[in-house]
Amino acid sequence: MSNLVLEQFYILIKLIIGGIILGLIYDLYRVFRYYLKPKKIATMIEDTIFFILISIIVLFLLFYTNSAELRWYVFLGFLVGSILYKIIFSKYIIKILIFIMNKIIKVFKKTLDTIISPIKILINIIKILLKKILKWIKKGYKDNDKRKK
C-alpha cells in the first residue's frame, strides 16, 4: 500500500473509534435523561449543551486525525463507528450505566437517610417536649382559673 492510502486507512480507523466514542457519549446522555426526566425547557438546554459537546469532540477528532479536512471517509468513519457501537456495545453499556446509576442512587439515599435520621429523631423529641410544655401551661392556667373563683 502506498503511504497516502495507508495514512487514509489509519485516519478511517481513528474516525471509526471516534464514532464509537460519540455513541458512548450519546448513551451516557440517554441514561442521564432517563434518571432526571427533565421538563421541556431543561430538555432544550440539555440538548443544546449535548450538541455543543459533540461538536467540540468531532472538531477535536477532525483536527487530531487529518487537520480537519472533510473527506468522504470522514463521514464514513463516524457513521461506521456509531453503527458498530449501537449494534455491538450499546445494550451492554446502557445496562452497565443503569447498574452504576442505581448503585450511586442507593448510596446517596443511604447517606441522606443517615444524615436525616438523627434530625428526625431530634424533631420528634422537640415535638414531645413542646406538647408536654403546652399541656403543663394549659394545666397551670386551669388551676389558676379555679383559684380565682
* pLDDT tens digit at each of 149 positions of the chain: 678 888 888 888 988 999 999 999 999 999 988 888 888 898 899 999 999 999 998 888 888 877 777 778 788 888 999 999 999 999 999 999 999 999 999 999 999 999 999 998 999 999 999 988 888 887 766 665 565 55
Domains of the chain: total: 1
pLDDT for the residue 66 = 78
pLDDT for the residue 102 = 95
pLDDT for the residue 147 = 59
pLDDT for the residue 19 = 93
In a domain, residue 18? The reply is yes
Which letter, b or e, does each residue of 121-131 get, where b requires 16 or more Cβ atoms within 10 Å of its Cβ?
eeeeeeeeeee
Pairwise CA distance, residues 21 & 42, whole Å: 25
Pairwise CA distance, residues 22 & 39, whole Å: 24
In a domain, residue 16? The reply is yes
Q: Which domain does 85 fall in, by range?
A: 3-112
In a domain, residue 8? The reply is yes
CB atoms within 10 A of CB 23: 22
pLDDT for the residue 23 = 94
